[in-house]
Chains A and B, each alone.
Chain A
Amino acid sequence: MKSQSIGQIALAAAAVAYLIGVYFASSPVWMGFTINALVIAVIAMSWNITGGFGGLSSFGHAALFGTGAYASAVLQVNYGVSAWIGFAAGILAGAAMGAFIGALAFRYGLRGSYFALVTLAFAEVLRICASSFAFTGGGSGLQLKLAPGLANLQFADRTVVYTALLVVVAAVMALTALIKYSRFGAYLIAVRENEDAARALGIDTYRIKVQAMAISGAFGGLAGVLYLQLWLFIDSTVVYGSGISIEALIGPIIGGAGTVWGPLLGTLGLHLLGEGAKHLLPNAPGLNFVLYAVVLICALRFLPQGLVGLAGKIGASKKKKESGDA
């Protein structure tokens, strides 16, 4: 395992301090806002598996998010299944959708922009389907019954919701770290760096990529289920919408794609920025997206490795600098 630079440790510590500080914040607004950011952070972590480690930039991660949310909601609303089973089903459905899209796209060797476009098209097809069929609630969406309690995975107390989300986020980050430092992670990074060379070395790149899509799908489905349990309502324009797909990729890129902390840092940073802008200009819907876009352009130009990469340059040990690793 590589040693982290002082800057990276400080950055992670700042994020943790913020997340703990939310418990003691004077206004409940902070917690509500951070809860939203954490759900988005999970879909960002899902994108990070394929987009960050694998270099497979998806423009349609809403396909995974929405599938998880709809799988759980359809089971709970139409079949009266318990929220826990819906939770598991959402994750599995996300993984299956990820594997399906990956299997189709990679079977025919789609790369780069083609892969980005095909994922976008899948999200769009699913959005239109979900808004057209009766069992998905059509255009009016699906609503869960309000019934707080552990059995229904609904909590009236925001602090409980927040703590549960922190546990989930920590778990997803731990899994990400496991993947990154596993043999599988090394294969995936090899695919990103040079797919032909990886194949020449005997790596079954097709299988690795499909597996990565399945893992990403599981995380994406998880994010969708979290969204559902939080709002108790989903509709196709939101959960299959381009907004989710954009947020999924923008957080990791700004935070640092292919790092464990990047998606969380990027998403938190962006949401803080967006929230601040909302306070300055209250009647400007979509202003946060304008800000995100400006930050994205600047990050692409000036921070190729995101915040984590920038922090890595601060107080890095000599050896690290030489290898240019971030």
Chain B
Amino acid sequence: MSSLIIPAVLSGLMMGAVYALVALGLTLIYGVLHIINFAHGSLLMLALYAAYFLWYHLGIDPYLAIPIVLPVFFALGYALQRGLIAPMSSGSEQNVLLITLAVSMIVDNLALYFWTSNTRTADIAYAYDTVEVLGAFLPLGRVIAFCAALAVAPLLWCFMAYTRTGSAIRAVAIEKRGAELVGIDVNHTYAVCFGIGTACVALAACLLLPTFYITPQVGYTFVLVAFTTVVLGGMGSLPGALIAGLLLGVIESLCGLFLGESLGQIGIFLAFILILLFKPSGLLGRAR
């Protein structure tokens, strides 16, 4: 059995890194805007299709597509927050939740209409080359995603801690009116934050594409896992999201090993319910 556990844990860690990347964007948006972005999964799906079509029509490698997809999705997130969510929500938390839900319904169903429910995969030759780690054979694509997630989380943290924009974002998160008084453009800062969160999702999509399938429903699978990651890590905590993502990847992988493939995700959702009930502030979150 132990010969199976180590590979399961490792492949769980690889998947967990992608969960962490998706959750980084979500936790950033939550931590600053205090909103739960239901459309996060749909934006991931959209980014996956963007990267896929760049590869399919123009032959651009998903990793090389990062500098194209990232800015586009930053702009998309910025526009979404500034143009739709902020003006339409009248500032109520529940309305924001519902509007992002509506956005996800629109995006998912339009994707279904235009791109049909066919499952697509990008056949990138080297993605399934295996790398041997501790006796386990892991797909190269997953290992790259893992390393990227480990690199991006601290980068994002440094950005928030040391840059002027990062300080502005943190200021707005702590005290909106005070930030406004010292001359920070709050609406702009909110939108920048939403844009960065969306860019994280685009990055996750480019890293995910070589070893994952795409359907219009793929976002839904991820959005629930991402919520769990955010709650487990402590809403708004970047290091928390990284640790929680890795942990959940391992939980899913081990549940799949012991309970059967179809029940793999149940571990994640049970963990989600238990955390929400017993420790809603999460691993590294501040007590509410």
B265 touches A120 (CB 8 A): no
A125 touches B109 (CB 8 A): no
For chain A residues 172-205, which have a beta carbon within 8 Å of chain B? none
The answer to whether A244 has its CB under 8 Å from any CB of chain B is: no
B105 touches A292 (CB 8 A): yes
Known: A125-B269, A285-B113, A290-B106. A297 touches B99 (CB 8 A): yes
In the bound complex, what is the Cα–Cα distance between A284 and B110 (angstroms)? 9
Contact with B along A5-42 (1 / 0, CB 8 A): 00000000000000000000000000000000000000
The answer to whether B3 has its CB under 8 Å from any CB of chain A is: no
In the bound complex, what is the Cα–Cα distance between A229 and B280 (angstroms)? 39
The answer to whether A294 has its CB under 8 Å from any CB of chain B is: yes
List the A side residues contacting B211 at CB < 8 Å: none
In the bound complex, what is the Cα–Cα distance between A122 and B273 (angstroms)? 7
For chain B residues 101-118, which have a beta carbon within 8 Å of chain A? 101-103, 105-106, 108-110, 112-113
Q: Which of A68-76, A102-110, A144-152, A317-325 contacts B (4 or more CB under 8 A)?
A: A102-110
Q: Which of B90-98, B138-146, B175-183 contacts A (4 or more CB under 8 A)?
A: B90-98
List the B side residues contacting A129 at CB < 8 Å: 266
The answer to whether B80 has its CB under 8 Å from any CB of chain A is: no
**Min CB gap A115→B, angstroms:** 9
The answer to whether A293 has its CB under 8 Å from any CB of chain B is: yes
A113 touches B105 (CB 8 A): no
**Which listed residue, B101, B272, B276, B277, touches A246 by the CB 8 Å rule?**
B101
A125 touches B270 (CB 8 A): yes
Question: Which residue of B is nearest A288, CB measured?
Answer: B109
The answer to whether B74 has its CB under 8 Å from any CB of chain A is: no
Known: A117-B227, A285-B112, A286-B113. A294 touches B262 (CB 8 A): no
List the B side residues contacting A294 at CB < 8 Å: 102, 106
In the bound complex, what is the Cα–Cα distance between A294 and B109 (angstroms)? 12
For chain B residues 141-194, which have a beta carbon within 8 Å of chain A? none
B112 touches A286 (CB 8 A): yes
B95 touches A300 (CB 8 A): yes
B88 touches A112 (CB 8 A): no
**Which listed residue, B35, B90, B227, touches A301 by the CB 8 Å rule?**
B90
In the bound complex, what is the Cα–Cα distance between A144 and B40 (angstroms)? 39
B273 touches A253 (CB 8 A): no
B277 touches A105 (CB 8 A): yes
**Min CB gap A162→B, angstroms:** 29
B95 touches A112 (CB 8 A): no
In the bound complex, what is the Cα–Cα distance between A215 and B227 (angstroms)? 28
In the bound complex, what is the Cα–Cα distance between A292 and B110 (angstroms)? 13
**Min CB gap A62→B, angstroms:** 13
The answer to whether A57 has its CB under 8 Å from any CB of chain B is: yes
List the B side residues contacting A143 at CB < 8 Å: none
B109 touches A287 (CB 8 A): yes
A113 touches B93 (CB 8 A): yes
**Which listed residue, A114, A131, A289, touches B276 by the CB 8 Å rule?**
A114
**Min CB gap A26→B, angstroms:** 31
Question: Which residue of A is nearest B271, CB measured?
Answer: A121
List the A side residues contacting B103 at CB < 8 Å: 293
Contact with A along B265-286 (1 / 0, CB 8 A): 1100110110011101000000
A108 touches B280 (CB 8 A): yes
A297 touches B88 (CB 8 A): yes
Known: A286-B112, A289-B105, A300-B95. A117 touches B270 (CB 8 A): no
**Min CB gap A284→B, angstroms:** 5
B99 touches A117 (CB 8 A): no
A124 touches B224 (CB 8 A): yes
The answer to whether A118 has its CB under 8 Å from any CB of chain B is: yes
The answer to whether A259 has its CB under 8 Å from any CB of chain B is: no
**Min CB gap B69→A, angstroms:** 24
Known: A125-B266, A128-B262, A286-B112. A57 touches B94 (CB 8 A): yes
11 CB contacts below 8 A, A to B, read A110-B276, A113-B36, A286-B112, A293-B103, A296-B99, A296-B102, A297-B84, A297-B102, A300-B90, A301-B87, A301-B88
| Given A113-B94, A121-B227, A128-B262, 11 other A-B residues pairs in contact with their CB atoms under 8 A | A105-B277, A107-B277, A117-B36, A117-B276, A121-B224, A132-B260, A132-B263, A289-B105, A296-B99, A297-B102, A300-B88
Q: 9 closest A-B pairs (Cβ-Cβ)?
A: A286-B109, A293-B102, A293-B105, A125-B269, A296-B102, A121-B272, A301-B88, A293-B106, A118-B276
